[in-house]
Structure 1
Amino acid sequence: MVDPARARKLAKRIGTIVATAIDHEIKDPRLAYVTVTDTKVTNDLHDATVYYTVMGADLDTPPDLESAAAGLEKAKGVLRSKVGAGTGVRFTPTLTFVADTVPDTARHMEELLARTRAADDAVARAAAGAAHAGDADPYKAPRDDQDDEGDDASDALGDGR
């Protein structure tokens, strides 16, 4: 069993090597807007999963996930060679590339929060002019006339004392 700290260090090193190679050494235009976000390595150090995101050329252009995935699949052998040379481990891990869904999940959460804020604002507007359904003070103070008559309470129980 491998030390988990060693696996984390190796994962970080693999992510750095892959990101640098994509940025500087691989000349595939499909990988121009690919960003490595995270890397995970199995406990036996034989498999590495590299998570990536793809940005569009500008804000109006949607990202081309299919061509980026094809470009990464084509460059997988070269990237694995770079990882083997850069890490110096006995067995170079196989690389698997997975599109990162964290940005989409974050965007979805932001949309849910915006809807919740809008619903809260609508409830606040409706409550602004509303009045209480019952008394203004639902916690009324006890009446003083019942406290003075202690013997009526025993008669109410019906035991006749």
Structure 2
Amino acid sequence: MANERQARLGDRIRVLIAERLEKGLRDPRLGFVTITDVRVTGDLQHASVFYTVLGTPEERADTAAALKAATGMLRSEVGKQLSVRLTPSLEFIPDAIPENADHIAHLLREARERDASVAGLAAGAVYAGDADPYVKPREFEDDEEA
């Protein structure tokens, strides 16, 4: 039951923060942010907010600074909207999904290229020994045995 409550609270916090960011903060450093996930601890005291930012590494760093500066205001907004006794503290963590996806795509592309090169080598390959390397039993003629 606690896991279900954690999930519901995390989903609600994700929606509230996303709506607040959609309305806009007055911080010019804030870039195009997407809240991907919120995980709440078992005691409902801490929420880890995972986000992605579209843009350059500099824009990502600026957005991280803007979110860190706005943490208190976002926590108070979340506290006003939630019906819980204690408002969980917020921690903003950059989500590594885009970087992981790019890395996996790169590895798959590299594997495809290696497979193609191996297939090219195999197409022109010939056997190192006889064409039929299997030993065949000798055939005796009836005249030799008699």
TM-score, structure 2 normalization: 0.85
Structure 1 residues 4 and 144: CA distance shift in structure 2, 3 A: farther
1:113 is the counterpart of 2:108: yes
Q: Which position in structure 2 is the counterpart of 1:90?
A: 85
Q: Which position in structure 2 is the counterpart of 1:155?
A: none
1:103 is the counterpart of 2:98: yes
> What is the count of residue pairs matched by the alignment?
140
Structure 1 residues 64 and 32: CA distance shift in structure 2, 3 A: closer
Q: Which position in structure 2 is the counterpart of 1:129?
A: 124
Equivalent pair of 1:37/1:53 in contact (CA under 8 Å):
yes
**Stretches of 4+ aligned residues off by more than 3 angstroms:** 134-145
Alignment of 1:47-86 (within 5 A): 47-56=46-55, 64-86=59-81
Equivalent pair of 2:32/2:53 in contact (CA under 8 Å):
yes
**Secondary structure class of the residue paired with 1:72:** helix
Distance 2:130 2:82 in 1: 74
CA RMSD in angstroms comes to 1.9
Structure 1 residues 140 and 74: CA distance shift in structure 2, 3 A: same
State the percentage of identical aligned residues: 46
Q: Which position in structure 2 is the counterpart of 1:152?
A: none
Question: What runs of 5+ residues in structure 1 fail to find an aligned partner?
Answer: 146-161
Deviation at 1:37, TM superposition (A): 1.0
Deviation at 1:12, TM superposition (A): 0.9
CA offset digits 1:26-64 (Å, max 9, x no partner): 2322223111111111111000000111112xxxx5551
Q: Which position in structure 2 is the counterpart of 1:33?
A: 32
Question: What runs of 5+ residues in structure 2 fail to find an aligned partner?
Answer: 141-146
Q: Which position in structure 2 is the counterpart of 1:43?
A: 42
Distance 2:12 2:138 in 1: 76
